[in-house]
Structure formats: structure tokens, C-alpha cells
């Protein structure tokens, strides 16, 4: 993992120094979140890991929580692409399964810690919502709406309702470790939540509350 972090933090040819420094701070913040023994995550600790000053960090982020959320987003940007050019059923299937796989690994553990950090400060969960969810939620809703117009997804619910029902169920299972998050489980959730009634009737049943697909 350290090698991967070093590679991602290394400036590419032609990358401005300020961008390289910003990436180094994001990687340092992610490392702090991933390190279970790191203790309290402070701006000072992140600055020390990144070899940056607090002034530099505050130039890009208004506070500690915004930085931590952006650090997770930075790591997720390559792991969870969502392509609006794909067919709607393909795009949602790929993205939902990729997200569930990601949550079963290190990023899942880091996500839990990020949420915990957000909850320690009043009103900071809104930072997580706005920075983490907004852009990918909007993109997925556009894809789902297109699928509904094409008859691939149901038309008796809005695209936003279908998104929240599907991804909300995945996140609920992740946070509470209820049911499974394997590919088969995610595809059954997609069928039950989003497919037209004629397809939902044929969807396999989901596993019980303590499935083993983690």
C-alpha cells in the first residue's frame, strides 16, 4: 500500500508544485484515516505526514473535516467511476457492485472512521453529504432517469427515490453489517428496487439479515 501511495503522490511531468503539494496532503490525510493506531487526526498531524505547513492546508480546506472527506473522495475517484455514456442498466450495475466491493475493503473502514469524525463536530455531517454524495448522486440520478424513460427501470418512482432506495440499502448493510454485499446480493437489490414490476417478480430473494457475503 505504501508504494501505491507514493506513486499517487508523486508529481507527474508538468504537474504544478501546488497541485503536487495538494495531492500529498490528501494522501497524508487518507493514510491517517487508514492507520488505526494514528490516534486523533489533527491538522498538525496531517501536515507533519505531508511535509506541509498548516497555512498551506488551510489555503485549500476550510477545516479538518472537509479535508478528511476530500481525502476519501480522492481515493475513490479512480475506484468508483460512473460513466454516463454507458447503457443505464450497465452503468448502475457496474457502479453499485464496485461501490459494494470497495466498502468491503480498506476504504470501507476509512469511510466508517470519516463518518465518525464528522459526527464528533456539530453540523459537520453536512460536509460529508455535500462533498461525498452530491456529484456522484446527481450523475447516477440522471442515468436512472434515462433508464426509466427507456423502460429499463420502473416508472412508478422517481429517479431520486430509486437511487436512495438502492444506495441507501447498500450503505445500511455496510454500516450495520446486515445481509451481504456480494455481487449477487447487489444485483438482487437492483432488481427489487429498480426493475419494472414484470422483472421484479422474477428477482431472486435476498439473503437473511446475517448473510456472509462480506
Q: Which tens digit of pLDDT belongs to each residue from 118-128?
A: 888 778 888 88
Answer whether 0.85 is exceeded by the pTM.
Answer: no
Q: What is the pLDDT of residue 206?
A: 54
Q: Decide if 2-60 and 83-200 have a common fold.
A: no
**What pLDDT, in 10s, does the model give residues 147-176?**
999 999 999 999 999 999 999 999 999 999
**What pLDDT, in 10s, does the model give residues 54-63?**
999 999 999 9
Between 204 and 195, name the one with better pLDDT: 195
Asked whether 72 and 132 are in contact (CB, 8 A), the reply is yes
Half-sphere exposure of 199 (CA within 13 A, CB side): 16
* Residue 41 pLDDT > 60: yes
**What pLDDT, in 10s, does the model give residues 72-120?**
988 887 667 788 899 999 999 999 999 999 999 999 999 998 888 888 8
Task: Say which CATH architecture domain 83-200 belongs to.
Answer: Orthogonal Bundle (1.10)
The domain segmentation of the chain, as residue ranges, is: 2-60, 83-200
**Which class is domain 2-60?**
mainly alpha
Amino acid at each position: 500500500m505504501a508504494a501505491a501511495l507514493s506513486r499517487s503522490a508523486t508529481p507527474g511531468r508538468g504537474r504544478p508544485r501546488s497541485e503536487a503539494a495538494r495531492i500529498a496532503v490528501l494522501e497524508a490525510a487518507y493514510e491517517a484515516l487508514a492507520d488505526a493506531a494514528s490516534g486523533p487526526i489533527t491538522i498538525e498531524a496531517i501536515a507533519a505526514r505531508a511535509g506541509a505547513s498548516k497555512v498551506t492546508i488551510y489555503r485549500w480546506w476550510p477545516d479538518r473535516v472537509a479535508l478528511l472527506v476530500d481525502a476519501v473522495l480522492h481515493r475513490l475517484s479512480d475506484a468508483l467511476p460512473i460513466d454516463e455514456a454507458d447503457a443505464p442498466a450497465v452503468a448502475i450495475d457496474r457502479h453499485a457492485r464496485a461501490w459494494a466491493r470497495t466498502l468491503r475493503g480498506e476504504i470501507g473502514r476509512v469511510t466508517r472512521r470519516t463518518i465518525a469524525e464528522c459526527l464528533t463536530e456539530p453540523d459537520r455531517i453536512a460536509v460529508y453529504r455535500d462533498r461525498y454524495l452530491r456529484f456522484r448522486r446527481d450523475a447516477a440520478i440522471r442515468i436512472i432517469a434515462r433508464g426509466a424513460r427507456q423502460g429499463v427501470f420502473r416508472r412508478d418512482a422517481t429517479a431520486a427515490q430509486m437511487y436512495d432506495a438502492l444506495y441507501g440499502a447498500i450503505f445500511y448493510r455496510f454500516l450495520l453489517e446486515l445481509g451481504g454485499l456480494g455481487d449477487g446480493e447487489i444485483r438482487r437489490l437492483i432488481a427489487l428496487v429498480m426493475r419494472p414490476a414484470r422483472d421484479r417478480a422474477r428477482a431472486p430473494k435476498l439473503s437473511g439479515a446475517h448473510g456472509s457475503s462480506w
